[in-house]
């Protein structure tokens, strides 16, 4: 089914007729009236949630776009950006996670400074494509998504249909969407290289490398080991989730079963703190027996016991970068990936050599 020409104004009669023909097709496939399709695509509460979702999925499959976002932008009626935080349906990682709170706050400040409003939402990490609802319904002019999770393909699909979208994450092969993120490979390299400089040789890696950012951090960790003439030991890699309630148990089991490691590269500050607790529970000291590094450099990292050596991510600056990348797309600019610098903050969990 042909896509509605984006160059024509929605008030144009031929474009309007083409759009109506597509709505007729959606109505026929959904088994509802054209007026119901119109209400569903506008997010009307007069249509039940199940029907709204079915209509939205059919519209996406037909590459149908109401183009409310562009119309509202031209008329200056809508200055709302949807900020979407995915969640893992199994672990239900809370939005109260320190990293989420920090980056959402940074985005909110950047939007406010530019005169825009923020609509905060969540979607199942297995259905990242649902984030497009806010643009498709005309409620937001674009979407900022926090994290790529495991569905790089869904993000590419959204970008392919010209959804104004910016994702916090790492640059991946064959990427069509715009990403903004810290230099994850460098971060992993810096953390592992520092532990090696401390004389640690059995260095564990904690984080789920099925997630793009963590995969990139693992690449840096492996690179540092190779530079030192060491092989990556799969037995020292733990695919721990970010959600504390789930990670706590797997970390305790890991620290009980693997007693030979003397350093740990963790993919978040929260995972690092949980690792320190797990090590202490099995009678190992930090940094005496095991040196530990975190990732993010959240404020809590400076106040834990011991204070945490961690990779500093530019979260305070990230909001402005994400918002500017999205507004650039709305101005018609090409949206390429943006990689921001990171550095290692040294504290007592893995002190200076």
pLDDT digits (tens, 9 = 90+) for 170-196: 988 888 999 999 999 999 999 999 999
Distances 69 to 58, 64, 330 between C-alpha atoms, Å? 19, 13, 9
Same fold, 13-62 and 77-182+315-342: no
Backbone conformation region of residue 143, classed left if phi is above 0, alpha if psi is from -120 to 50, else beta: beta
CATH architecture for residues 184-313: 3-Layer(aba) Sandwich (3.40)
Structure tokens at 150: 């495991």
Taking CA 286 as the corner, what is the angle to CA 280 and CA 290, rounded to the nearest 5 degrees? 100
Under a CB-based contact definition with an 8 Å cutoff, are residues 203 and 236 in contact? yes
In terms of pLDDT, which residue wins out, 52 or 116? 116
Give 56 or 274, the one with higher predicted confidence: 274
- Give pTM, 2 decimals: 0.77
For the sheet containing 203-206, what is the strand order?
Answer: 237-238, 203-206, 263-266, 291-296, 309-312, 343-345
Residue 350 has pLDDT above 90, yes or no: yes
- Give the domain ranges of the chain: 13-62, 77-182+315-342, 184-313
Name the token pair of 189. 């390299």
Q: Is 163 helix (H, G, I), strand (E, B) or coil?
A: coil
CA distance 255 to 276: 10
For the chain, the average pLDDT equals: 86
d(CA 260, CA 23) in angstroms, rounded, equals: 63
Whether residue 98 contacts residue 300, with contact meaning beta carbons closer than 8 Å, is answered with yes
- Helices 244-257 and 269-281: crossing angle in degrees, nearest 10, is 40
Q: Which residues contact 114 (CB under 8 A, 6 or more apart)?
A: 323, 327
pLDDT digits (tens, 9 = 90+) for 102-113: 999 999 999 999
Q: Architecture of domain 13-62 in CATH? A: Orthogonal Bundle (1.10)
Q: What is the mean pLDDT of residues 241-261?
A: 90
Class of the CATH domain delimited by 77-182+315-342: alpha beta
């Amino acid at each position: 089914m042909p896509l509605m020409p984006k160059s024509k104004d929605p008030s144009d009669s031929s474009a309007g007729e083409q759009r109506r023909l597509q709505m007729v097709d959606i109505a026929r496939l959904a088994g509802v009236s054209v007026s119901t399709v119109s209400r569903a695509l506008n997010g009307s509460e007069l249509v039940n949630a199940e029907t709204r979702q079915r209509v939205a999925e059919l519209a996406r499959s037909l590459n149908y776009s109401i183009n409310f976002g562009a119309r509202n932008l031209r008329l200056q009626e809508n200055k709302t950006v949807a900020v979407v935080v995915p969640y893992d349906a199994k672990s239900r990682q809370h939005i109260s996670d320190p990293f989420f709170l920090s980056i959402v706050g940074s985005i909110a400040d950047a939007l406010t400074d530019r005169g825009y409003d923020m609509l905060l939402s969540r979607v199942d990490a297995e259905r990242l494509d649902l984030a497009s609802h806010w643009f498709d319904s005309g409620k937001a002019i674009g979407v900022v998504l926090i994290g790529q999770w495991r569905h790089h393909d869904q993000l590419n699909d959204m970008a392919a249909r010209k959804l104004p979208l910016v994702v916090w994450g790492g640059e991946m092969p064959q990427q069509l969407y715009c990403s903004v993120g810290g230099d994850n490979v460098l971060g992993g390299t810096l953390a592992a290289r520092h532990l090696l400089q401390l004389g640690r040789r059995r260095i564990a890696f904690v984080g789920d490398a099925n997630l793009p950012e963590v995969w990139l951090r693992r690449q840096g960790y492996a690179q540092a080991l190779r530079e030192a003439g060491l092989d990556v030991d799969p037995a020292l890699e733990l695919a721990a989730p970010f959600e504390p309630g789930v990670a706590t148990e797997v970390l305790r089991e890991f620290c009980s079963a693997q007693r030979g490691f003397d350093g740990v590269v963790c993919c978040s500050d929260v995972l690092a703190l949980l690792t320190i607790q797990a090590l202490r529970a099995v009678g190992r000291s930090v940094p005496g027996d095991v040196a530990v590094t975190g990732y993010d450099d959240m404020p809590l990292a400076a106040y834990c016991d011991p204070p945490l050596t961690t990779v500093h991510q530019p979260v305070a600056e990230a909001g402005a970068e994400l918002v500017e990348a999205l507004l650039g797309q709305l101005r018609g600019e090409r949206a390429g990936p943006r990689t921001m610098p990171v550095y290692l903050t040294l504290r007592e969990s893995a002190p200076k050599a």
